[in-house]
Structure 1
Amino acid sequence: MSPGVATVRERVTAELRAALISGDLRPGEVYSAPSLATRLGVSATPVREAMQDLAREGMVEVVRNTGFRVTELSDRELDELAEIRTFIEVPAMGLVAEKCSGAVAARVEELRETARELVRAANTLSMTEFMRLDTEFHIAFLSLHGNRRLVEEVARLRYRSRLYGLEALARAGRLELTSREHERMVDLALARDRAGMERLMRLHIGHTRREWAQR
């Protein structure tokens, strides 16, 4: 596979994953590769490849000769995913804050712009873009902890989540308020406030489950 094709496939996978998490692609619905390709402005080939990757992650199911059905998670499954994320992300982010100096602090400061882009995406009701940025922000932040396997596991947990209520919250102006927590994470890390970071992460994951994922 050429580098150019790989880049398209990665972009398509990221956009489709964000659309699945945000509920833009609806649970139970079947989508064909050509229809998704038209939506994304690409050929059907990278879409089929991306959806095969997402099927391996359990986000969609292959419907023979038709397309891909979006899988649905029960409330209990969503609760379990949020609980595991709390066990992993809260202490990991606390450690990033505690050790935030030098090159780590410089990288944290670079994430401030992504945090602000999240607020803009919430204000413009760009839910797929919001989820792409949200994933980018949290994975980049957690990677500063230095544990690659931890980051991979959190990524898998996040990819399995569903946030059906994002657009309704955005229209009501409430998503902007909670999305501002991302820049607060930057501030807490730069202040090396481990306890404050851990409190905010518990609150943030709570928003994700109790408000963002409401059907």
Structure 2
Amino acid sequence: MKQDTQGFAGTGDPRPGAARVPAQPGAADRHRTRGRDGAQDPAGTARGEHTHGEQAHGARPLDGPRALVRRSSVRGQVLDALRTALVAGELRPGEVYSAPVLGERFGVSATPVREAMQQLALEGAVEVVPNRGFRVVERDVRELAELAEVRALLEVPVLLRLARTVPAERWARLRPVAEATVRAASSGCPVTYAEADRAFHREVLTLAGNDQLVRIAGDLHRRAQWPPAGAPATRGRADLIADAHEHTALLDALIAGDQDTVRALVTEHYATGAS
């Protein structure tokens, strides 16, 4: 596989909705590191996941906690941006991306990019290519079907239990969240819709009072939103709108206490691989 030297999707300019990370102070200089002899090592050097030597110079011990917090914040921004790029199709399955190149694009050093990519590797989105960078995993339709099945096994029983126990007025409070998914779908932006979609499912599952359930289901949901190899980079606006209206129909049934309709809707929602 060729290595993309221009950033996302082989282009220097992101498409609408593409991820951006605010440039950090001094970021143009931080992509270079110094060895023990004081010589600079260009960021373009293929170091794979090697992070030694990328340390702040002259930092006092008391500066450590503050520096750690700042780097963690940058890593979180980069991680969010990369997750967004996956949904938007800016990170193409099968392509290899180097941390220094992505760092240049984001205006940060290579270190937080590597750290964010390592997290994505744990989530199954990318794999490490030694001395080159990270390859976006080529996912197939079968994997999406398996994710849909696992999500159904986890979420459907919870939704059906909540349908029996949560009062109508509590469901009604979720109306703005459901309507937000419709507005997001109407925009045609897959990234905007993906965020609104996860927010709706998160608010519903939060009613179960189980933080671990919400976290695990959220991770599975995010993975289900990454497009597979060979498929269109993003879903069409019509598909997004149809998916969003399933949310409002489900909420209507929950408010009405119509458990038969709730069962039919949630079963179909997950069986079709919808978000």
Which bin holds the TM-score, normalised by the shorter protein? Answer: 0.7 to 0.9
Partner of 1:16: 82
Distance 1:145 1:31, change over 3 A: same
**The residue matched to 1:167 in structure 2 has which SS?**
coil
Partner of 1:53: 119
**Paired residues of 2:190 and 2:235 also in contact (CA < 8 A):** no
Aligned pairs (5 A) from 1:135-154: 135-154=198-217
**Paired residues of 2:188 and 2:240 also in contact (CA < 8 A):** no
**Residue 167, structure 1, aligned to residue 234, structure 2:** yes
Runs (4 or more) in structure 1 with deviation over 4 Å come to 4-8, 34-39
Q: Which residue of the other structure, out of 110, 126, 131, is the alignment partner of 2:189?
A: 126
**Paired residues of 2:152 and 2:270 also in contact (CA < 8 A):** yes
- Displacement of 1:60: 0.8
- Displacement of 1:180: 1.6
Q: Which runs of 5+ in 2 are unaligned?
A: 1-67
Q: Greater relative contact order: 1 or 2 (C-alpha under 8 angstroms, separation 6 or more)?
A: 1
Q: Which runs of 5+ in 1 are unaligned?
A: none
Partner of 1:206: 271
Partner of 2:10: none
- Displacement of 1:206: 3.0
Provide the identity percentage: 39
Distance 1:12 1:118, change over 3 A: farther
Partner Cα separation in structure 1 for residue 161 and residue 242 of structure 2: 25
Q: Which residue of the other structure, out of 243, 248, 268, is the alignment partner of 1:178?
A: 243
**The residue matched to 1:27 in structure 2 has which SS?**
coil
**Paired residues of 1:112 and 1:186 also in contact (CA < 8 A):** yes
- Displacement of 1:110: 4.6
The TM-score, its normalising length taken from structure 2, stands at 0.62
**Residue 75, structure 1, aligned to residue 138, structure 2:** no
Partner Cα separation in structure 2 for residue 77 and residue 159 of structure 1: 13
Distance 1:33 1:90, change over 3 A: same
Distance 1:113 1:35, change over 3 A: farther
**Paired residues of 1:100 and 1:190 also in contact (CA < 8 A):** no
Distance 1:148 1:34, change over 3 A: same
**Paired residues of 2:121 and 2:128 also in contact (CA < 8 A):** yes
Partner of 1:33: 99
Q: Which residue of the other structure, out of 89, 92, 103, is the alignment partner of 2:155?
A: 89
Partner Cα separation in structure 1 for residue 77 and residue 172 of structure 2: 25
Q: Pick the structure with greater CA Rg.
A: 2
Aligned residue identity for 1:184: A
- Displacement of 1:70: 1.0
The TM-score, its normalising length taken from structure 1, stands at 0.76
Give the count of matched residue pairs: 203
Partner of 1:114: 177
Output one character per residue of 1:20-79: Cα deviation in whole Å (capped at 9) or x when no partner.
Answer: 24544221112233554566x552444332221111111111223433211122322222
**The residue matched to 1:68 in structure 2 has which SS?**
strand
Which structure's residues are more often helix, by fraction?
1
